[in-house]
């Protein structure tokens, strides 16, 4: 059985084309897979498990149906949905996956990231990221009034859009020299991540050995999936409709 990787769906009720494509994906491509890994920014915004609406619950129910068939679902936080918590995972039948986890795929250790931690040249974003991911900050955020959380989420989304538009492309992309350092630290020759919306397979050399960085694509104009099995790694796109 294969293992599937997706990221950056940015699911929201305002994009029914993406949610329809994802629900179809769960009942077709993902059905029968050994595992499905969702590497962050699954939702466009997430202000807390206590604020789940009908749309988000429908997504959780669809994940649960896949999980009940035996496919193990792993969910990693992204920069848009880092407040996803245990309540959602219970409803969805999935497990939270720590950023920077190393998993074994067909005998090979593979490093999994959302990808924003690799964009070290965007120093202002990295400072914000450290503040927001601090456990104390997370506790405070989760206990803010719901209206305040929604207002803050809107401000963060707008700041993200401005940062992407105004900063040079190389600033909001990964820092090339950081990639082999991180991979060497974790002792891997394959890294899989999303976040940058630049799907590709990058060939590298680490300590004289062949290596690869696989970047997952975002689901906007088309869907993207990485399939891994005993034959290797295949990054593929497909139409949303």
What is the DSSP annotation of 178-235? HHHHHHHHHT-SEEEE-SSS--EEEEEEETTEEEEEEEPPPSSSEEEEEEEETTEEEE
Domain count, the chain: 1
79 marked among binding-site residues? yes
Statement: residue 128 has pLDDT above 60: yes
Q: Which residue has the higher pLDDT, 76 or 123?
A: 76
Per the structure, the complete domain to which residue 84 belongs is given by 3-239
**pLDDT tens by residue, 38-50:** 999 999 999 999 9
Q: CA 206 from chain center: how many Å?
A: 25
Q: Is 80 annotated as a binding residue?
A: yes
pLDDT on residue 98: 95
Q: Is 186 annotated as a binding residue?
A: no
Between 93-102, 152-161, 171-180, the lowest mean confidence (pLDDT) is in: 152-161
The answer to whether residue 159 scores a pLDDT higher than 80 is no
Q: What is the mean pLDDT of residues 82-93?
A: 96
Q: Residue range 42-70: average pLDDT?
A: 96
pLDDT value of position 156: 81
Per residue in 165-183, pLDDT tens? 655 565 678 999 999 999 9
Asked if residue 195 belongs to a known ligand binding site, the reply is yes
The answer to whether 114 is annotated as binding is yes
Cα distance between residue 182 and residue 193, in whole Å: 13
pLDDT value at 20 more than 90: yes
Binding residue per annotation — 50? Answer: no
Q: What's the pLDDT at 1?
A: 87
- For 203-229, what is each residue's pLDDT tens digit? 999 988 999 999 999 999 999 999 999
d(CA 104, CA 87): 27
Residue 113 pLDDT exceeds 80 = yes
pLDDT of residue 237: 98
What mean pLDDT, rounded, does the chain reach?
93
Strands (E), 45-172: 72-76, 94-97, 101-105, 108-112
CATH for 64:
3.60.21.10
Q: What is the pTM of this model?
A: 0.93
Is residue 17 predicted with pLDDT exceeding 90?
Answer: yes
Question: Among 22-26, 70-74, 119-123, where is mean pLDDT lowest?
Answer: 119-123
164 annotated as a binding-site residue:
yes
């Amino acid at each position: 059985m294969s293992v599937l990787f997706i990221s950056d769906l940015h699911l929201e009720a305002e994009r029914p084309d993406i949610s329809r494509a994802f629900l179809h994906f769960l009942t077709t491509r993902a059905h029968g897979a050994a595992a499905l890994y969702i590497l962050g920014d699954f939702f466009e915004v997430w202000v807390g498990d206590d604020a789940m609406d009908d749309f988000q619950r429908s997504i959780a129910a669809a994940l649960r149906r896949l999980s009940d068939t035996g496919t193990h679902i792993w969910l990693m936080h992204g920069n848009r949905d880092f407040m996803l918590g245990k309540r959602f995972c219970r409803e969805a039948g999935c497990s939270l996956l720590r950023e920077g986890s190393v998993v074994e795929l067909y005998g090979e250790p593979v490093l999994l990231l959302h990808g924003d931690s690799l964009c070290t040249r965007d120093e202002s974003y990295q400072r914000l990221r450290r503040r927001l991911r601090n456990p104390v900050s997370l506790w405070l955020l989760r206990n803010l009034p719901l209206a305040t959380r929604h207002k803050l989420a809107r401000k963060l989304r707008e700041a993200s859009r401005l940062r992407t538009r105004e900063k040079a492309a190389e600033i909001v992309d990964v820092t090339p020299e950081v990639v082999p350092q991180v991979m060497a630290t974790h002792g891997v020759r394959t890294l899989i991540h999303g976040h940058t919306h630049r799907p590709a397979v990058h060939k590298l050399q680490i300590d004289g050995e062949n290596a690869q960085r696989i970047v997952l694509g975002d689901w906007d104009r088309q869907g993207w999936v990485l399939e891994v099995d005993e034959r290797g790694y295949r990054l593929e796109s497909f139409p949303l409709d």
